[in-house]
Amino acid sequence: MTDGDRGTGKRENEIIIGIDLGTTNSLAATVFEHGPEALHPPGGNAIVPSVLTRRDGGWIVGEEARELRTLEPENTVFSVKRLMGRDEADLKEALKHLPFSVRAAQRGLVKVHVGGEAFTPQEISAEILKFVRARAEEALGRPVAKAVITVPAYFDDAQRQATRDAGRIAGLEVVRIINEPTAAAIAYGLDQKQTGLVAVYDLGGGTFDISLLQLSGVVFKVLSTHGDTHLGGDDFDMLVAGELKRRLLESHPKAELDSPLASQLLRKTAELIKIDLSHAPDTQYTLELPAQGIAESGTFTAETLETLISPLVERTLVSCREVLRAAGKQPGDIEEVVMVGGSSRMPLVRKKVGEFFGRPLNIAINPDEVVAIGAGIQGHLLAGGRRDFVLLDVIPLSLGIETLGGTFSKLITANTTIPAEVDERFTTYVENQTGVDINIYQGEREFVKDCRNLGRFRLKGIPPMPAGLPHVKVTFHVDTNGILSVSAVEERSGTQAAIEVIPSHGLTNAEIETIMDQAVEHAIEDLNHRQLVEFRNMANAVFRGIKLAWSDAEAIMSAGQLKEIQAQMDVVREQAKGNDSVALKKEMDLLGDMTRPLADAIISKAALAELRNFYDETQHP
């Protein structure tokens, strides 16, 4: 079904989808005539696990990659959002828990090493975006070139830049970056209220945000935001995995549980336990590592889980207190609390948040889809759709420059409404200084050593003057995406310089262009690789199906036919070792033609069995 069939009300030549690029899951949404909706291919799921496996020079993305975690642990990448815009020092603790290799690269960048190749987090996130985009195009029946992409409210400039770069590498024009809690509030239609204070509590797979919004008529203003870009469901999983590891070592003291395979198995089991305990008081689990002779079963209770995660849930409440303090409000002032993110489903989380605010929680929309739907509404608005509200978002952390003695001079303070522009004048402290280095930082501390360096540039060509005489005006501009640009001018001479801040550990425009050029240059080769991976997987599935049905085949097919099928299976196996996806598909189609009588017979047999069951039930109720 195309968007024309559904009647979007958009201009035919313009569609801007919303994408929630999540730590655990990603998805897209848009607005149709009947309302906003998450996008999925016919019969498919809207949610794409943010998991990738590198195989045969190509990427497997989504559900299939998630199933490969324990089969190809060293080649399967997950939670890449946590690596976005971060350097090795930021990630020191997190890297200990990852079964795949992440190493330092130039300018503080990190790269993920899989299958003998190295990729930046932006490149890997771009693969997720490409996959989500392809599913959206299949659902809409038309190409998509533009998107609104969401980020945690507490993402700093470097992380926002990295997200925008991932979009560009994926071939998307990122028309807006919007904060996840703000997107969630839009999805809930909170702008329809006349007045009120609303808190949006967003606990996802890898990040946590709390935002406080003031609704007044058509004005939709974020008063304050707080959070932690390294706190979410992944951390709950790690705590459960740690408890499982402790139990295993009690019964198997010599077990090797730090290998990529063991790490992935522990995390996968921990995730299943966490999900089960969201609606049950206890759950059973089994851990098997045949190579080490380990096969252990046990029970995990909700009480144990809550004891483990309670300190992390309390950390979210610290942010709730901080966001209220920044806005000068009390819990009782909040009229509605909106719960967002998959981890917000956990009973302990809902209990603690409800107690903190002293009111029932709003859980009306699927917490996994609400952010994408809000982004889709914002995309609809930017594409010309009508929605009568004014959206005023804020910047999460103060921005400024380094001044004498390593102090941090804040030009734009935290929770300033964006877009924003501020300028401030500085002077020189050295005689006849002809250049000024401008070091740009983000943070809340008083010294730059405790803040995050975003980048630097040099204002040069200042005429020699006595110290204190030059007047250097530095201007910070933050656009509607929360992206920073900085300019400087020496007002006496008119010397000026400007920069769109590329974080000191971010990708340069030249690097992004190179990545995109390589993608175009290798597009046919990459498509062939992808098809090879898909066809090889399909061939293995067909082989398994034939093996299971072989006894039926012997009953209904001649010996000659069976011999032909076996010979053709050998041809397909041999072709799968090569690199020609077209030839492999041709041989698979031929195998499909040979086995069609078998498939028809099995279907008929199943239908006959169903009819017999129906007859027995109706005759002998």
- 609 confidence band (pLDDT: 50, 70, 90): low
List active site positions: 20, 81, 180, 202
CATH number at residue 115: 3.30.420.40
The closest of 503, 481, 487 to 107, measured between CA atoms, is: 503
Please tell me whether residues 132 and 8 are part of one structural domain: yes
Please tell me whether residues 243 and 346 are part of one structural domain: no
Q: Does 12 or 218 have the greater pLDDT score?
A: 218
- DSSP class of residue 487? E
- Portion of the chain with pLDDT greater than 70, in percent: 86
CATH number at residue 243: 3.90.640.10
Please tell me whether residues 136 and 163 are part of one structural domain: yes
CATH number at residue 418: 2.60.34.10
Average pLDDT over residues 25-42: 89
CA dist 444 to 167, 338, 488, 577, Å? Answer: 29, 27, 23, 56
- 193: pLDDT strictly greater than 60: no
Residue 478 lies in a domain: yes
Average pLDDT over residues 406-425: 86
- Portion of the chain with pLDDT greater than 90, in percent: 34
Distance of CA 598 to the CA centre of its chain: 43
- 607 confidence band (pLDDT: 50, 70, 90): low
Q: Determine the structural domain holding residue 248 and report its residue range.
A: 233-310
Average pLDDT over residues 390-415: 81
Average pLDDT over residues 327-338: 92
- 431 confidence band (pLDDT: 50, 70, 90): confident
Please tell me whether residues 318 and 452 are part of one structural domain: no
Q: Could you give the angle at which helices 509-521 and 157-169 cross, rounded to 10 degrees?
A: 20
- 4: pLDDT strictly greater than 50: no
Task: Report helix, strand or coil for 230.
Answer: coil
- 254 confidence band (pLDDT: 50, 70, 90): confident
Task: Report helix, strand or coil for 585.
Answer: helix
Please tell me whether residues 458 and 581 are part of one structural domain: no
Last residue of a domain, one of 392, 408, 427: 392
Average pLDDT over residues 356-385: 88
Residue 515 lies in a domain: no
Residue 516 lies in a domain: no
- 154: pLDDT strictly greater than 50: yes
Please tell me whether residues 181 and 319 are part of one structural domain: yes
- 150 confidence band (pLDDT: 50, 70, 90): very high
275: buried, middle or exposed (CB in 10 Å: 19+, 13-18, 0-12)?
A: middle
- 244: pLDDT strictly greater than 90: yes
Q: What is the pLDDT of residue 547?
A: 80
pLDDT in tens, 493-535: 888 876 656 555 555 556 556 665 665 566 566 666 667 766 7
Number of separate domains in the chain = 4
CATH number at residue 591: 1.20.1270.10
Please tell me whether residues 226 and 214 are part of one structural domain: yes
What average pLDDT is seen over the chain?
Answer: 83
- 9: pLDDT strictly greater than 50: no
- 1: pLDDT strictly greater than 50: no
- DSSP class of residue 255? -
Please tell me whether residues 438 and 297 are part of one structural domain: no
Q: What is the pLDDT of residue 332?
A: 92
Residue 613 lies in a domain: yes
Q: Give the helix ranges, DSSP H, for 199-327.
A: 233-251, 260-276, 302-327
Residue 291 lies in a domain: yes
Last residue of a domain, one of 455, 479, 506: 506
The closest of 325, 312, 50, 365 to 184, measured between CA atoms, is: 365
- 614: pLDDT strictly greater than 80: no
Rounded CA-CA distance 203/349 in Å is: 9
Residue 517 lies in a domain: no
> Phi, psi at residue 525, to the nearest 5°?
-60, -45
Task: Report helix, strand or coil for 295.
Answer: strand
Please tell me whether residues 543 and 595 are part of one structural domain: yes
Place of tokens 């501020």: 422
Please tell me whether residues 32 and 123 are part of one structural domain: yes
Q: Does 556 or 39 have the greater pLDDT score?
A: 39
- 357 confidence band (pLDDT: 50, 70, 90): very high
Structure pTM?
0.72
Residue 599 lies in a domain: yes
Average pLDDT over residues 93-113: 83
Average pLDDT over residues 566-588: 86
pLDDT in tens, 157-191: 889 989 999 999 999 999 999 999 888 888 877 54
Among 140-149, 248-257, 418-427, 452-461, which is the least confidently predicted range? 452-461
Please tell me whether residues 20 and 97 are part of one structural domain: yes
Last residue of a domain, one of 480, 506, 532: 506
Residue 346 lies in a domain: yes
Q: Does 445 or 617 have the greater pLDDT score?
A: 445
- 2 confidence band (pLDDT: 50, 70, 90): very low
Please tell me whether residues 21 and 45 are part of one structural domain: yes
pLDDT in tens, 65-87: 998 888 888 899 999 999 998 88
Q: Does 168 or 553 have the greater pLDDT score?
A: 168
